[in-house]
């Protein structure tokens, strides 16, 4: 919490990726390329799942939703970041900042819940295959996708309702490439204790309950795999789960690095690198994680590309 003259803030300066003119075009082209790869890769995943009737199953239903969320998630931050790299004055209005924060928090929570739903799908498929059709019926799949939208919307609105009551000082520089909760709270003159408690309490619950659910699911899957006599059968099952575990590790590793370390360990540079990992790198890598080891997905993608 800063101390300073209280003032009406109408805009903020996003200083996260302010670079010299000689590196500006390199950074711009790098992130533009990553954004385009993310868009094309996730769109191909969605089109492949829609067009191939062999992929009309719960696992691919969740994957198509994850790809859609990743497209929206990346679009929330990257286009503005690219414009700011080229701009001499990388500003964002207060309304624009709050809007970006709303969609960012909504989509990161949805990503989190979908990863848990995909872990549940693998758990049921491997540990209870005879009950798969009943436990993951179209109605249950719709609930597993629809309920997180309600919860994530509620959490995002509550965060914003607490934010709009804060008083900001004359400090307007955000050491980040988008409006994130932690750096915004550090600009406030008024007491942010309730905001911090809510971020750790409710935000931590929304993040860690699905994460624990994923860990428990894969622990049970692992114990089931140990009883499979065929080495080939173990490897086939592990290759399917390995894609999901790669995405989970990259996503949660960077999330914890940003939001759940002690405030005394806060570093704007470290947070920015971790944010790049889960806002840009993870959505870009997900299509590769879920297609390179999947014969059905590769066949569907080849059919589309040909």
Taken as a whole, the chain contains a residue count of 306
Strand pairing partners for 91?
13
Q: Taking residues 90-96, report their average pLDDT.
A: 86
Please report the pLDDT score of residue 154 as a whole number.
93
The pLDDT-based confidence of 94 (bands split at 50, 70, 90) is confident
Place of tokens 């109408």: 10
DSSP at 17: T
Please report the pLDDT score of residue 20 as a whole number.
65
CA atoms within 13 Å, Cβ hemisphere of 173: 7
Q: Hey, which of 60-64, 208-212, 265-269 has the most confident mean pLDDT?
A: 60-64
The whole-angstrom separation of Cα 288 and Cα 272 is 24
The whole-angstrom separation of Cα 23 and Cα 136 is 50
More confident residue, 146 or 297: 146
pTM across the whole model: 0.86
Please report the pLDDT score of residue 70 as a whole number.
93
Under 8 Å between Cβ of 287 and 41: yes
The pLDDT-based confidence of 39 (bands split at 50, 70, 90) is very high
The whole-angstrom separation of Cα 69 and Cα 72 is 5
Dihedral sign (CA 132, 215, 203, 18): negative
Under 8 Å between Cβ of 78 and 37: no
98-146 pLDDT tens trace: 899 999 999 999 999 999 999 999 999 888 989 999 999 999 999 999 9
Place of tokens 């759940």: 260
The whole-angstrom separation of Cα 29 and Cα 44 is 22
Please report the pLDDT score of residue 260 as a whole number.
59
């Amino acid at each position: 919490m800063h101390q300073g003259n209280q003032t009406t803030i109408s805009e903020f300066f996003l200083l996260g990726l302010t670079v010299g003119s000689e590196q500006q075009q390199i950074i711009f082209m790098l992130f533009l390329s990553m954004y385009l790869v993310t868009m094309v890769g996730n769109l191909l995943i969605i089109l492949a799942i829609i067009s191939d009737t062999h992929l009309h199953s719960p696992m691919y239903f969740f994957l198509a939703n994850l790809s859609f969320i990743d497209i929206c998630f990346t679009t929330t931050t990257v286009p503005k970041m690219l414009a700011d790299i080229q701009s001499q004055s990388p500003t964002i209005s207060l309304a624009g900042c709050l809007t970006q924060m709303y969609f960012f928090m909504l989509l990161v929570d949805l990503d989190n819940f979908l990863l848990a739903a995909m872990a549940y799908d693998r758990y049921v498929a491997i540990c209870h295959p005879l009950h798969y059709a009943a436990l993951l019926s179209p109605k249950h799949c719709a609930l597993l996708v629809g309920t997180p939208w309600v919860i994530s919307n509620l959490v995002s609105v509550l965060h914003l309702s607490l934010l709009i009551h804060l008083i900001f000082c004359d400090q307007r520089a955000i050491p980040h490439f988008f409006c994130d909760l932690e750096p915004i709270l550090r600009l406030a003159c008024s007491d942010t204790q309730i905001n911090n408690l809510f971020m750790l309490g409710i935000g931590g619950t929304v993040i860690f309950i699905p994460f624990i659910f994923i860990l428990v699911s894969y622990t049970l899957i692992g114990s089931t795999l140990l009883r499979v006599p065929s080495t080939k059968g173990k490897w086939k099952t592990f290759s399917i789960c390995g894609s999901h575990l790669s995405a989970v590790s990259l996503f949660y590793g960077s999330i914890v690095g940003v939001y759940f370390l002690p405030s005394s360990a806060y570093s704007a540079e470290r947070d920015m690198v971790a944010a790049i990992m889960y806002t840009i790198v993870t959505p870009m890598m997900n299509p590769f994680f879920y297609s390179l080891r999947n014969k059905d997905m590769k066949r569907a993608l080849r059919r589309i590309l040909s």
